[in-house]
Amino acid sequence: MTLTPRVYNTAVTVWTFLSQVLSADHGCVHAVTKLIACRAAKGDSIPSAQTGAYCIARDKLDEQAMHRLVVETGRSIENAAPDHDLWLGHRVVMVDGCTVTMSDTKENQDAFPQHGSQADGCGWPMMRCVVYFALATGVVLEAAMGRAKGKLTSEVSLFRETDEILEEDDVFLADRFFSGWFDLARLILRGVHVVVRKNASRKTDFRTGVRYGKDDHSVHWDKPQRPDWMTPEEYAAYPRFITLREIRIRVTTPGFRSREILVATDLLDDIEYSKDDLAALFRRRWQAELNLRSLKSVMQMDHLRCKKPHRVRNELRAHLLAYNLIRQVMCEAAAHGAVAPWRISFKGALQTCETLLPLLQAVGDAEWLCDLLFACCLKHAVGGRPNRNEPRVVKRRAKPYKLMTKPRYDYQPLERS
């Protein structure tokens, strides 16, 4: 067996990184062993089984390059989607936020402080993320990350840093957290359409404005006072008001928490965009929550393992990139089976790819094996249960251990003299 000191070029390092975040183990040893198995099957030189060289190579990955990989793969997959997957001819982009934890090291704590309610040594550094998903394909189009504690660390702040990903004639679909007047006005001025849940603090009177039907009208939202974070020049650039259509969606399905939802949109044509169309679209906003669940639970992105901030950021980007590649397989399988991509199980596709892809790499040109991959993915369909009623309770009991209230070293027994 011939050992070579220079195996981990950029392409091999990224491939190994992706195999690491896609595996159930998530360990470096597993990733390096998978690389050894792949190179041995192709007759290539074999790297050392020790993980030091891989970790050094992973540490050198450029952050901007990793970010471009996520954005460009998401854009290419979305651009290849067929037109019939669009919503009334529009690309729909959803946005949602989450938090992830990471290894408790001093470097991570300095960059991403833990929650203020946790004692020193008892918590985890925490990062806040805002992710943009395409509704048609489920891919990640953009992501922003930052601290979860301190000023300008909210999801809205991260959203304002990255909303340039939204293009003219896109439909922005989001929950009420992103329904601020200035955020909506900024998007509308750029030609982006909005469909958001209305903030509960804003009053609604369907007897006013231009009425389209029951619980459906358009009104002017006047410009509020200038916030402290906005300059007078920026404030003056906004119009005196924006015209939005408000609709009330009544939820009659048993088990749903909300019985009534108010939605605001700038799509004022009630013939082309009916109330039922908008209600059905907003209901699909829940897909963003399911996509985040695929990332955090299925791909185990809820807790990152790296011990330095720049490695943590690249680890999160590696998860997003791997997620997009699995979504691409799902889209190609959906095209073969003439079904919608969101009808295929993400977890089923992930497990299928993890098992069959090493064989594809070893065999080389194997068109029949690709067809087998797509056929297996199509078999893992998401059940049609749109109105299921599940109680919000937990069956599995927690372990009867006490919570950590002081650093772990304080629990160690004192050495006897």
Task: Tell me the pLDDT of the chain (417 aa) as tens digits.
Answer: 444 457 899 999 999 999 999 988 889 998 999 888 888 877 888 888 999 999 999 999 999 999 999 999 999 999 999 988 899 999 999 999 999 999 999 999 999 999 888 888 888 999 999 999 999 999 999 999 999 988 878 899 999 999 999 999 999 999 999 999 999 999 999 999 999 999 888 899 999 999 999 999 999 999 999 998 899 999 999 999 999 999 999 876 665 665 788 999 999 999 999 999 999 999 999 999 999 999 999 999 999 999 999 999 999 999 999 999 999 999 999 999 889 999 999 999 999 988 887 777 666 667 888 888 899 999 998 876 566 666 778 888 888 888 888 888 788 776 554
Same domain, 205 and 285: yes
Q: Which domain holds residue 37?
A: 10-59
User: Do residues 228 and 251 share a domain?
Assistant: yes
Residue 227 tokens, joined: 């916030």
Q: Which residues, 6 or more positions from 87, have their beta carbon under 8 angstroms from its beta carbon?
A: 135, 136, 171, 281
Distance CA 25, CA 23 (A): 5
Assess whether 108 and 25 both reside in one domain: no
> Does residue 332 form part of some domain?
no
Q: Give me the CATH number covering residue 171.
A: 3.90.350
Q: Are residues 244 and 279 in the same domain?
A: yes
* 399 lies in some domain: no
Please check whether residue 319 lies inside any domain of the structure: no
Report which residue type is found at 122: C
In the chain, the number of structural domains is 2
Regarding whether 74 and 43 lie in a shared domain, the answer is no
pLDDT of the residue at 2: 46
232/168 same-domain check: yes
Instruction: Note whether 109 and 223 are same-domain residues.
Output: yes
Q: Are residues 131 and 217 in the same domain?
A: yes
The predicted structure's pLDDT at residue 153: 84
| Domain end position, chosen among 272, 292, 312 | 292
CA distances to 7, 112, 162, 241, 305 from 62, rounded to whole Å, are: 18, 20, 20, 44, 18
What tokens does 151 get?
């000023």
- The answer to whether residue 137 sits within a structural domain is yes
Task: Output the pTM of the full model.
Answer: 0.91
Q: 183 and 249 in one domain?
A: yes
- Residue 403 located in a structural domain: no
Which of 240, 262, 292 terminates a domain? The answer is: 292
Within-domain flag for 111:
yes
Please report how many Cα atoms fall inside a 13 Å half-sphere around the Cα of residue 206, on the Cβ side: 13
CA atoms of 144 and 153, how far apart (whole Å): 11
The verdict on residue 321 lying in a domain is no
- Compute the residue count for the chain: 417
388 φ/ψ angles, rounded to the nearest 5 degrees: -70, 150
Q: Assess whether 42 and 166 both reside in one domain.
A: no
pLDDT of residue 73: 97
